Amino acid sequence: MKRMEREGGAIHPSKIASGTSYTGYRVAGHSNCAVFDSEVYKTTAEDICAKSRVKLMYHLMFLKTDIENGSIRAAYFATKDGIYKIRAKVFIDCSGDADMAYACGVPMQNGDEVQSASLFFTVRGVDKAVMDKHMSEAADMEEKFYMKEIASERENGAFPLARAKIALYEGMNGQWRVNMTQLDNVDAAKPEQVTAAEIEGRRQIKFVMDFLKKYAAGCEDITLVESAPSLGVRESRRIVGEYTLTLEDISVGKKFEDSVFCCSNSVDMHKKGGVDYIATTLKAPYYIPYRSLIAKNIDNLLAAGRCASADRSVMAAIRVMPPCFAMGQAAGTAAAICAARGLSAKSIDICELINALLDDGVYLP
C-alpha cells in the first residue's frame, strides 16, 4: 500500500473513514478500507516479485498432478506451448476454487448452497459533490440507498435483479466501482455456468445503469467504463484442512498456538434477495491457524485464500483481500521453510514459521 501510495496509485487505509464515498457511504464494517488503482497494483506486485526473485508465469491452466506416497511430485498445466510439467517440493493452491487440492483427492467442504456471485463494473462521470450532499442529507438508509425506488422499479419490471440498495464505491482517477449485479447458484467449477452468469451479469448492468441515471443523485451523466474481466465468485470449493476454523472460533477471538495472522472482517454472506451481515462485536482481532492452510492427506500441499479450511460463515468473513494476502504470505513462508528443510507441511517447526512472519512485519498481537 505504501509503495502504491507513493506512486499516486492508492490511498492508505488509515486515511479512509467509514460513511464516505470510498466506502460506498456504508458505515458498519467499512472503516479503513484500502482504495487503489488496479493498474498500479499490477506493476507494484510484479516489481515486488521480481525483486524477490519470484519467477512469474501467467497463461497456465492447471490440469492434474502426479502423486507418489502422499506427496505431489509434479503438476501439469495447459499452455499454448503444450502441456508443461512443473516439479516442486511444496505446492500452494491459491486457485480460489481449490482446483489442485480437488484433483489430488483432498476432501472438500462445499454444500448445495453457495453465496451469490457478482459481476463488478466501473463507471465514470459521478458528480461527487451532488452524491455527497444526498448521502449527508438523507433521513435514513432507505432514502440514502434508494431502496423504495429500487423496489418500485422491480415491481414495474425495470429492475429485474434482487439487490435492494445502490452500491457505488469511489476509486482512483474519477472511477467508481459498482457492486450491484447478482448471480445466484453459480458453480464456479462449471464453465458453462460461469459463462452464462457473465452474460447475465452484463445484461443486469444495463438495468443498473438505467436505474442509477434515472434516480441516483450525481449519476445523471455516468458512462460505463467496463465490466469486470471475469465473474466475481464469493464461494465455491474449500479444502478440508488439518483444522477447520469455525464461526465460534472467530466470534470469541480464539488464539491458537499456530496462529499465523489475525483480521477483523465481519461475516458478509451474499444470497438471493439480500446479505446476511454479522458485524463483529470483538474489540480485538480474531486469529487464523496455520493448520487451516494444510490440506488433509497430501504431505506437501497448502491452500491459501478463498479455498482454505473454514466453515461457510468464516469464509464469508475471511474471503476478502487482506486476509487472502495474509494467508498467501503465511503459506508461502511455510512452503519456503519446508522446501529448505525437506519437511512435510505438517512437520514444520511452528515457532520458526511464526518468527519468520514476525520478522517480515506480520501483525500478530
Q: Contact residues for ligand FAD (CB under 6 A)? A: 60-62, 94-97, 99, 118, 120, 179, 232-234, 305-306, 319-322, 324
Q: Which is nearer to ligand FAD, 56 or 340 (CB)?
A: 56
Q: Which is nearer to ligand FAD, 310 or 343 (CB)?
A: 310
Query: In the bound complex, what is the minimum distance in angstroms from residue 126's beta carbon to ligand FAD?
Result: 18
Give the whole-angstrom CA distance, residue 82 versus residue 224: 38
Q: Which residue has the cell 470483538?
A: 282
**Cβ(101)–Cβ(239) under 8 Å?**
yes
Q: Which is nearer to ligand FAD, 321 or 339 (CB)?
A: 321
Give the whole-angstrom CA distance, residue 287 versus residue 258: 9
Question: What residues are paired with 269 via a beta bridge?
Answer: 276
Other CB atoms within 10 Å distance of the CB of residue 170? 20
Q: Which is nearer to ligand FAD, 24 or 218 (CB)?
A: 24
Query: In the bound complex, what is the minimum distance in angstroms from residue 247's beta carbon to ligand FAD?
Result: 18
Give the whole-angstrom CA distance, residue 66 versus residue 229: 32
Query: In the bound complex, what is the minimum distance in angstroms from residue 17's beta carbon to ligand FAD?
Result: 16
Query: In the bound complex, what is the minimum distance in angstroms from residue 257's beta carbon to ligand FAD?
Result: 25
Q: Which is nearer to ligand FAD, 291 or 306 (CB)?
A: 306
Query: In the bound complex, what is the minimum distance in angstroms from residue 355's beta carbon to ligand FAD?
Result: 25
Query: In the bound complex, what is the minimum distance in angstroms from residue 332's beta carbon to ligand FAD?
Result: 12
Q: Please give the residue whose beta carbon sits closest to ligand FAD in the complex.
A: 305
Query: In the bound complex, what is the minimum distance in angstroms from residue 117's beta carbon to ligand FAD?
Result: 6
Instruction: Output b/e per residue, 196-216; b: 16+ Cβ within 10 A.
Output: ebbebbeebbebbbebbeebb
Q: Which is nearer to ligand FAD, 233 or 298 (CB)?
A: 233
Q: Which is nearer to ligand FAD, 16 or 350 (CB)?
A: 16
Instruction: Mention every residue, 6+ apart, whose C-beta is less than 8 A from residue 301.
Output: 72, 90, 91, 92, 93, 100, 101, 104, 106, 294, 295, 345
Q: Amino acid letter at 171?
A: G
What the block records as the C-alpha cell of 221 is 451523466
Give the whole-angstrom CA distance, residue 248 versus residue 250: 6
Instruction: Give the gyration radius of the chain's Cα atoms.
Output: 22
